[in-house]
Amino acid sequence: MRRGMRAGVLILWTVLVAVSVISVADEPKELKDAFASRFRVGAAIGTHHTMGQEPESLALAASQFNAATPENLLKWQAVHPAPDRYQFEPADRFVAWGEQHGMFLVGHTLVWHSQTPRWVSQGTDQKPLDRDALLDRMKGHIETVVGRYRGRIQAWDVVNEAIDDQGRLRSAVPEGGSPRRFAPWYSPIGDDFIEMAFEFAHAADPNAELYYNDYNEWFPAKIEAISGLVRRLQSKNVRIDGIGLQGHWGLDYPKLDEIDHMLTEYGKLGVKLMVTELDITVLPSASNGTSADVNARATGGDRLDPYRDGLPDAVQRKLADRYAAIFGLFVKHANTIDRVTFWGVHDGHSWRNHFPVRGRTDYPLLFDRRLEPKSAFSAVVGTVRP
Ligand code: XIL
């Protein structure tokens, strides 16, 4: 009897070992394969990557992802720094690299209030431009940039962050309030600046997919305003293919039911949903709340930068669990989600090390500073393990 029990335990143990060996061996090593039947998985590629620094990061990106977004090099100030000067070399290289690796390429971004030079909204006399002059400028920029990569960049974040946290269009001039910093670019055009940008982009590449992209996308006021915008464009037959949800999130925000709810709500619009800039900070939050406004700055000292020498196991596990829960929701909504893009390739490269507090050490992505997959990687892949 006792011998029988021992044999039973041994058999059980052998089976358990065999199962775990098989499941480790079976675990997909590449994100693009793991999610192939659900959605594309992409990454933001830094200009320095594209220009040949850190070739290992670029190689990692090529092996893991099937979609790519340039982190900065197609923003207005990078690609069109002066009225008569375009700088296409980094973007040309990015597109050639993407094509070489069969990537779905996303152009980011055409109309935004940030990383847009001041001259865009001014005449040679530095006076503010009027509606017609601004529309001409917007059209020229979009025609030139989108036209150059027609048929090669498959999709564009046409307008970025045009709606504030209260759900107001950023072109709206607050009554009695002081003009906002994007006012010179959007307000003289008026509330149809979004629609016009989409029309210009469509004319420049009739086959490109066109998206509206934003942050704090789960705020009820934003759900309402972004849904309203999409419906308005649809009713006017202006082409819009999808909504980009940036996804600069934290360990405790947004709540899972807020993510679930927003995916359900946006999913009703009949356009594609993309999570376009996913990263999850593990650091204590600074004073900017959940905003991803790139102009926000905060300071805080040691209390805000607790993991300079490495991430404690307990936090590493929290991050993995958080990623698993979030990807569980993405898989649940895979019928409307077309792509999930991480904002960066590895922790060392992430903008979250510098936003909104400069020079912190954050751990928001799936690959660590040595380009090794973290436990968050297995947790994410585990959400689709058969
Ligand atoms: C960030 C880049 O990652 C940084 O390198 C740059 O200094 C500022 O912009 N929302 C967006 C992205 O749409 O373009 C921003 O990217 C992050 C917030």
Condensed to tens digits (0 to 9), the pLDDT of residues 194-226 reads: 999 999 999 999 999 999 999 999 999 999 999
pLDDT at res. 181: 62
Which of residues 287 and 38 earns the better pLDDT score?
A: 38
Condensed to tens digits (0 to 9), the pLDDT of residues 103-115 reads: 999 999 999 999 9
On whether the pTM is more than 0.85, the answer is yes
Which of the residue ranges 230-244, 276-290, 359-373 would you say has the lowest mean pLDDT?
A: 276-290
pLDDT at res. 274: 98
CA 312 to ligand 1 centroid distance, Å: 27
Query: Which residues belong to the active site?
Result: 161, 277
Mean pLDDT across the chain, nearest whole number? Answer: 92
Domain 33-384 grouped into CATH 3.20.20.80: yes
Q: Is the CB of 106 under 6 A from ligand 1?
A: no
pLDDT at res. 9: 61
Which of residues 29 and 299 earns the better pLDDT score?
A: 29
Query: In the predicted model, what is the mean pLDDT of residues 19-45?
Result: 82
Pair of tokens at residue 259: 């993510």
Which residue, among 98, 20, 91, 87, has the nearest Cα to 65 in the 3D structure?
A: 98
CA–CA distance from 135 to each of 121, 195, 198, 200, 237 (Å)? 10, 11, 12, 10, 20
Element of type H or E holding 369: none
pLDDT at res. 28: 75
Domain locations along the chain: 33-384
How many Å apart are CA 365 and CA 57, to the nearest integer?
13
Pair of tokens at residue 257: 């039911």
Q: Give CA 175 to chain center in angstroms.
A: 33
CB of 295 within 8 A of CB of 356?
no
pLDDT at res. 303: 87
CA 105 to ligand 1 centroid distance, Å: 17
For every residue of 128-160, DSSP letters joined together read BP-HHHHHHHHHHHHHHHHHHTTTTS-EEEEEE
Q: Is the CB of 350 under 6 A from ligand 1?
A: no
Q: Is the CB of 296 under 6 A from ligand 1?
A: no
pLDDT at res. 8: 63
Q: Is the CB of 212 under 6 A from ligand 1?
A: no
Question: What are the b/e assignments for 18-47, b being 16+ CB within 10 Å?
Answer: eeeeeeeeeeeeebbebbeebbbbbbbbbb
